[in-house]
Amino acid sequence: MEINLKDIHSPADIKGLDLEHLHLLSGELRAALMRKLAAHGGHVGPNLGVVEATVALHYVFDAPSDKIVFDVSHQSYVHKMLTGRIEAFIDPAKYDDVTGYTCPGESDYDLFEVGHTSTSISLATGLAKARDLKGGKENVIAFIGDASLGGGMALEALNYAPELGSNIIIILNDNQMSIAENHGELYNHLAELRKTNGTSPNNIFKALGYEYIYVGEGNDLRALIHAYKAAKDQPRAVLVHINTMKGMGLPCAESNQEAFHFAAPFDLKTGAPANPLDAESYDDMFARKMLEHTRADKNVAVMTAGTPGAFGLTPAVRDAMGSQYIDTGIAEQDCVTMAAGLAKGGVRPVMGVVATFIQRAYDQLSHDVAINNLPAVFVEFYGSLFGMNDMTHLGFFDIAMISNIPNIRMLAPATAEEYIAMLDYAIGQTDHPVVIRTPGGAVSHQSTPVNTDFTRYDIVEEGADVALIAEGPMLGIARKAAALLRDKGVTPTVINPRILSQVDTECLDTLKGYRHVITVEDGIIDGGFGQKVASYLAPTGIRVTCLGLKKEFEDRYKVADLLRDNSLTPEQIAELAI
Amino acid sequence: MEINLKDIHSPADIKGLDLEHLHLLSGELRAALMRKLAAHGGHVGPNLGVVEATVALHYVFDAPSDKIVFDVSHQSYVHKMLTGRIEAFIDPAKYDDVTGYTCPGESDYDLFEVGHTSTSISLATGLAKARDLKGGKENVIAFIGDASLGGGMALEALNYAPELGSNIIIILNDNQMSIAENHGELYNHLAELRKTNGTSPNNIFKALGYEYIYVGEGNDLRALIHAYKAAKDQPRAVLVHINTMKGMGLPCAESNQEAFHFAAPFDLKTGAPANPLDAESYDDMFARKMLEHTRADKNVAVMTAGTPGAFGLTPAVRDAMGSQYIDTGIAEQDCVTMAAGLAKGGVRPVMGVVATFIQRAYDQLSHDVAINNLPAVFVEFYGSLFGMNDMTHLGFFDIAMISNIPNIRMLAPATAEEYIAMLDYAIGQTDHPVVIRTPGGAVSHQSTPVNTDFTRYDIVEEGADVALIAEGPMLGIARKAAALLRDKGVTPTVINPRILSQVDTECLDTLKGYRHVITVEDGIIDGGFGQKVASYLAPTGIRVTCLGLKKEFEDRYKVADLLRDNSLTPEQIAELAI
């Protein structure tokens, strides 16, 4: 008997296989995965590490009646291959037919749109409680990685789940890595559990009331099936701790687990990127600048909650920063509030953070940092429509979220020079918390000096009648619109607002004789900086139009489409302005 | 030697006392506390329980050079008494000279404005790291209750702190209570540690790398001093687990710990409230309505993250709800995301939540509930300027935070009848997540039928030229303004918008010939519903004025002052409208 992946339409197709054929199947799945990952890019290490764990999952449990919740769900590719979506992994023309995360719109086997970490146990607890209230009997399973377990909500739910007193199974996929290395003492404890083959008398999971099952060979199908069967149908909380290898089977991914957590298309043999980038990037600029600051002043600390690679903090840069580099693991809340403590203690913390993840620490920004008005600095990446485009990773809600918290100065540089000047300003001052939005898209430059009073708008082009106030990467688009307008005899004033958390009333007062003021932002209109301008000017009866994005969760959009659908092209802006 | 509290000006004044006199001091402090609490109200149980633990703290450690961070800081009264603020506890005329939480503006012994739980370890970690970078030697201490330890950020920080490899001391004040009873398996583990006098081989704190010290008699000064001395100056993470009694010394507080967590003025002997309230309240209305719903449908679940008493869920109501009542403990994130799981599982979750605490679950509302567009219901309390007035507990940022998340319908009832109708609507529908803001202030009623299409604004008074669009409790104020305007010959249209997360464009289009549109909300203007109205109408050049609060952290404001300072009185609104 041979395994033909094309014949796998649902988990039913693997239920009858014997161990040998399950092995063959796993090999075929891994090979197909590698081909797609190399050609298409994606989460390499997480998926290669859980091929067997996922095959065993669908072999032992009966999805979709048994309910499987993948944490982050970036490791759900094999699950997708086994649940009716194999074509999207073996037919290059169909590679983009599936998202990179679980997606209920694709399949009933997928329960939630998920992309952030540490949510699976809470979601599973809700499903299990709903089952109990309804008198159901199905298994509910949360599949979560060791790094995700360190996130606050996962720990809250780990604490709560056994209180249900009914079936809930947590599969802890321990691959000994976060995106980068793990941080936190939990990981020494997991190491102790691995070292003792799960027999250590000190066991945090048993302390929390779990039945604990250890699988030392988490890439061994027989051991996995045995463990899953032991966990199945138990009327209590069971934690199955499986020791897996991230990137298994692909030498470059095994040996460089950080680089191959997520990768763009690469050469399968060498691991070399297929399309090496040598363009200037804001990430590198940030890393270089922070290295300068930490070298110049030992009281500057650079922080991340588990995503150093997202902004150029390579292992070499981290090493060079030494004890001035702080990674709290995937624990944004702890990181932001630790920044408050550092600032209070006289250190200047600079936390780099991906925009979609800063929202995991809203209360910390408000209650710990802003109320205490501490000079912590937060540098956002991908906070823009020119950012990440998966529905779960959108970066264009940040202005609405952050700019309405008192005391925080939220800055949006439009050029590299402004970006550098804002970083220097933020680290140098001690008056306020500062959030800097790293511009989305390609790096742009300015030849004029940067006005370093960042409470003031910058008039980039002097004109009359019509004003375009455009922040960050929208400034370039507004300037193109201005050029079109000049061709038609209108010379608009073009303004770079730079600060999004307050309006420059002095500047806006000069616009009161204008015919039309248009604000342009790369975030949602609702709650954004444009509405602050509108509510300042609207009592005077001046026409104000706020341009930006509709308040919607977009999914895998094309930037050009999104701009056009929201009237954000230079042509549309120019037409509106007349 | 006698102890005279008036002589206690700083911790230096207690350093020379022997144990007998420290006992006397503790007795005097407790007696004074009881007098103030009975006359003034405040956090009764938390403070009475830590008299000895705080005396020992200032006896052993050397604040302010040693740094003490109180979690929540609602238990910091004795700390204030020992650090120069005794008058505010013994002179009734000065009772209001101090806030109910630590406050850097009052004293250098207070490091942070704090009022939310679970922040102390992260803050202490930041202070400790700052000390290490600066080469300091002081002790850094986080003082945290057992209930607060279950919050996600506390667990994140518990995990991270030992990685510092330097001095940090966590004092775990285990009084076996949250505001209500504790939830989560951690509490069975703490019980095991208490039962074994700290010797259980399974020890979550040791598993996480802490040196662990147990104090079985946490109200015994000698034992506390001994333990604190053992922890002091250690170059590592130490956790001191102290077993205390909440409300100690006051019989009513010892026997009814939930009611006396926080109490308004009461009779010291009987515990009876000094000013019993028999006014109708929205809390009771909510509890009664939820009891009806849970009885009528076993698939309705009522949820809280540790604050059932804030909305009428008394022990009797909770008992009556049985397994349909869910308390996750102080774990808002887990509660919100568990609600997502429940909704996916076909149950209708209704989570009651204090407005200032819902911000602890922004990512959960957005990423787990809203992206998946699940019909979970969140009922906010004290989301208003007519709410809690401590700087750390303000309830008027919620519109800006929640109404800008896609898919969520945020509703603001103006009357009891509308409130009930919205609860029924929210529980009955399955299209969207719904957030309902329980109105602040006294209950108001309407005699007209409730229009149950809550996507539409309600025209309450028909007029012309001027429109007042006022939500929730501001509607009553706007109607008073309208009466004043009618006296002056202007008949404004008065509109109750009811929905804050979107505008009723059909209704707003009818206002385009108006001279002036004024929006009125009991939240900050920035990011609020008024700015949505302004940005919809402003392109037409109609005058729109957004009234609401300035984006500021107010502290212990008087409602009348805040209204006047923000032009929100009927007279001010009427004047503006003309």
Residue numbers of A annotated as active site: 246, 332, 360
Specify whether the CB–CB gap between B22 and B226 falls below 8 A: no
Separation in Å, CA B424 to CA A394, A404, B429: 33, 32, 9
Residue B276, pLDDT > 90, answer no
* Gap from A27 CA to chain B (nearest CA, Å): 34
Residue B1, pLDDT > 80, answer no
All residues of chain B having their beta carbon less than 8 Å from the beta carbon of residue A539 are 543-545
All residues of chain A having their beta carbon less than 8 Å from the beta carbon of residue B405 are 397, 551
Q: What is the pLDDT of residues A253-264, one digit of tens each?
A: 999 999 999 999
Q: What is the pLDDT of residues B371-382, one digit of tens each?
A: 999 999 999 999
Residue A447, pLDDT > 80, answer yes
Q: What is the pLDDT of residues B106-118, one digit of tens each?
A: 999 999 999 999 9
Residue from the list B112, B406, B538 with its beta carbon closest to the beta carbon of A551: B406
Can you give the pLDDT at residue A1? 63
Q: Which residues contact B488 (CB under 8 A, 6 or more apart)?
A: B574, B578
Angle at B470 between CA B464 and CA B473, to 5 degrees: 140
Residue B16, pLDDT > 90, answer yes
| Residues 337-366 (B) with a CB less than 8 A from some CB of A | 337-347, 349, 359-360, 362-364, 366
3-state secondary structure at position A68 = strand
Do A363 and B362 lie within an 8 Å CB cutoff?
Answer: yes
All residues of chain A having their beta carbon less than 8 Å from the beta carbon of residue B152 are 151-153, 155-156, 333
Residue A461: phi, psi to the nearest 5?
-135, 130
Q: How many residue contacts between A and B have a Cβ separation below 8 Å?
A: 393
Can you give the pLDDT at residue B225? 98
Q: Which of A323-327, A444-448, B1-5, B388-392 comes out lowest in average pLDDT?
A: B1-5
Q: Where residue A578 falls among pLDDT bands split at 50, 70, 90? A: confident
H/E segment holding residue B75? none
All residues of chain B having their beta carbon less than 8 Å from the beta carbon of residue A400 are 400, 404, 527
Do B150 and A130 lie within an 8 Å CB cutoff?
Answer: no
Can you give the pLDDT at residue A193? 98
Chain centroid offset of residue A409 CA: 23
Q: What is the CA radius of gyration of chain A?
A: 26
3-state secondary structure at position B201 = coil
Q: Which residues contact B509 (CB under 8 A, 6 or more apart)?
A: none
Average pLDDT, chain B: 97
- Give the mean model confidence (pLDDT) for residues A277-283: 88
Q: Which residue of B has its CA nearest to A122?
A: B338
Q: What is the pLDDT of residues B280-294, one digit of tens each?
A: 899 999 999 999 999
Q: Which residues contact B321 (CB under 8 A, 6 or more apart)?
A: B290, B291, B294, B302, B313
- Give the mean model confidence (pLDDT) for residues B39-58: 97
CA–CA separation, B384 and B311 (whole Å)? 15
Q: What is the pLDDT of residues A489-524, one digit of tens each?
A: 999 999 999 999 999 999 999 998 999 999 999 999
Residue from the list B150, B337, B531 with its beta carbon closest to the beta carbon of A123: B337
All residues of chain A having their beta carbon less than 8 Å from the beta carbon of residue B544 are 534-535, 538-539
Q: Which residues contact B209 (CB under 8 A, 6 or more apart)?
A: A185, A188, A189, B162, B237
Residue A215: phi, psi to the nearest 5?
-125, 105
| Residues 382-401 (A) with a CB less than 8 A from some CB of B | 391-392, 397, 400-401
Amino acid making up residue A397 = F
Residue from the list B129, B130, B371 with its beta carbon closest to the beta carbon of A113: B371
| Residues 253-312 (B) with a CB less than 8 A from some CB of A | 298-299, 301
Strand partners, B240: B171, B213
3-state secondary structure at position A466 = strand
Do B130 and A344 lie within an 8 Å CB cutoff?
Answer: yes
Do A126 and B343 lie within an 8 Å CB cutoff?
Answer: yes
Q: What is the pLDDT of residues A395-439, one digit of tens each?
A: 999 999 999 999 999 999 999 999 999 999 999 999 999 999 999
Q: Which residue of B has its CA nearest to A359?
A: B363
To the query of whether residue B298 is one of the catalytic residues in this protein, the response is: no
Tokens of A18: 């014997």
Separation in Å, CA A166 to CA A133, A566, B98: 11, 49, 48
Q: Which residue of B has its CA nearest to A104?
A: B372
Per annotation, catalytic residue among B30, B67, B131, B246: B246
Q: Where residue B273 falls among pLDDT bands split at 50, 70, 90? A: very high
Mapping DSSP onto H, E and C, the string for B421-449 reads: HHHHHHHHCCCCCEEEECCCCCCCCCCCC
Bridging pattern class, strands A516-524 and A493-496? unpaired
Do B347 and A203 lie within an 8 Å CB cutoff?
Answer: no
All residues of chain B having their beta carbon less than 8 Å from the beta carbon of residue A184 are 156, 159-160, 163
To the query of whether residue B129 is one of the catalytic residues in this protein, the response is: no
Q: What is the pLDDT of residues B504-526, one digit of tens each?
A: 999 999 998 999 999 999 999 99
H/E segment holding residue B497? none
Mutate to test the interface with B, among A326, A531, A544 (most CBs of B within 10 A): A531
Tokens of A296: 């110049």
**What's the helix, strand, coil split of chain A in %, to 5?**
45, 15, 40
User: E-strand spans in B168-297?
Assistant: 168-174, 211-215, 237-243
Residue B278, pLDDT > 90, answer no
Q: Is A22 part of the contact surface with chain B (CB cutoff 8 Å)?
A: no
ipTM entry: 0.97
Mutate to test the interface with A, among B103, B188, B333 (most CBs of A within 10 A): B333
Q: Which residues contact B292 (CB under 8 A, 6 or more apart)?
A: none
B424: how many CB neighbours lie within 10 A of its CB? 15
3-state secondary structure at position A348 = strand
Residue B79, pLDDT > 70, answer yes
A87: how many CB neighbours lie within 10 A of its CB? 15
Chain centroid offset of residue B331 CA: 13
- Strand-by-strand arrangement of the B466-470 sheet: B458-461, B493-496, B466-470, B516-524, B543-549
Do B159 and A185 lie within an 8 Å CB cutoff?
Answer: yes
- Give the mean model confidence (pLDDT) for residues A96-101: 97
